[in-house]
Amino acid sequence: MGDSKYPMSERSFDKYSKERISSGVNGLDEMLGGGFPQGHIIVAIGGSGTGKTTLALHYILDGLIKGESGLYISIEEEKESLISAANAYGWDIENYISDHKLAILKLDLSDVKTTARRVKSELPELIRSFGAKRLVIDSITLFSMMFDDAIERRIRIFGLNSAIKKAGITALYTAEVNVDNPYYSKDGMIEYSADGVLFLQQNESEKNIRLIMRVIKMRKIQHDRLYRPYDITGKGLLVYPNEMVYTDYGKDNDSRE
């Protein structure tokens, strides 16, 4: 793997084609030409240790700082664990919870059908009553895995997406990568129904392991399609949008529109 300069400033992205919502990560916003399009559902797919939850916290915190309320739906992590993870980066989110600007909801997976039904029926009203502008579901893979039947899984995912779209909120999902095919999510489904797909990967070479990120798709806007390196630092994600990574990953994986 080698790195070379490929300035994003040389690319002409239309930053005003659609109102944008910052990802909370400057380098990623630059790759997107300004941020996520408002109202989009974006999924960040990656393996363990690639910073998916960190990205989700970046996204929620950016909105909170700007006065936008947020909902964080956790399938696996307890609220206390997420607060601790944020504190590790120096982000105090407890005050936002106390001020009713942030709600962290842990889904109960003991009753799958009831949970799925409540998410679809109650989420739009919760978004409206809370005045939320940003939503995180971490992770959508675990939500999908609640359903054994592939057809039901598809119906539930599309139903969830429909409810979110109806609410008019901008959502970020996290998803686990398929260990047998690192170019796709574990269920191989969510990337087709989402408006945007980000891939977070660990690129191994003879010398080191480096984290790399790519915007696979982002509907309705132009965006950078090259792999860009990033680090997980003591202050969160740091993306290098002007560095290019040479890799064989994803050469044939641009069809998920």
Question: Looking at residue 225, which CATH number applies to its domain?
Answer: 3.40.50.300
Q: Are strands 69-74 and 3-5 parallel, antiparallel or unpaired?
A: unpaired
Q: How far apart are CA 24 and CA 14, in angstroms?
A: 19
Element counts in the chain: helices (H) and strands (E): 8, 14
pLDDT of residue 38: 95
3-state secondary structure of 183: strand
Residues of the chain with pLDDT under 70: 1-18, 109-113, 206, 247-257
The answer to whether position 253 is within a domain reads: no
User: Are the C-beta atoms of residues 85 and 236 closer than 8 Å to each other?
Assistant: no
The answer to whether position 252 is within a domain reads: no
The answer to whether position 141 is within a domain reads: yes
The model scores a pTM over 0.85:
yes
The answer to whether position 88 is within a domain reads: yes
The answer to whether position 257 is within a domain reads: no
The answer to whether position 116 is within a domain reads: yes
The answer to whether position 113 is within a domain reads: yes
User: Are the C-beta atoms of residues 71 and 105 closer than 8 Å to each other?
Assistant: yes
pLDDT of residue 173: 97
Structural domain boundaries enclosing 59: 3-245
The answer to whether position 256 is within a domain reads: no
Per the structure, the count of domains in the chain is: 1
pLDDT of residue 248: 57
pLDDT of residue 159: 87
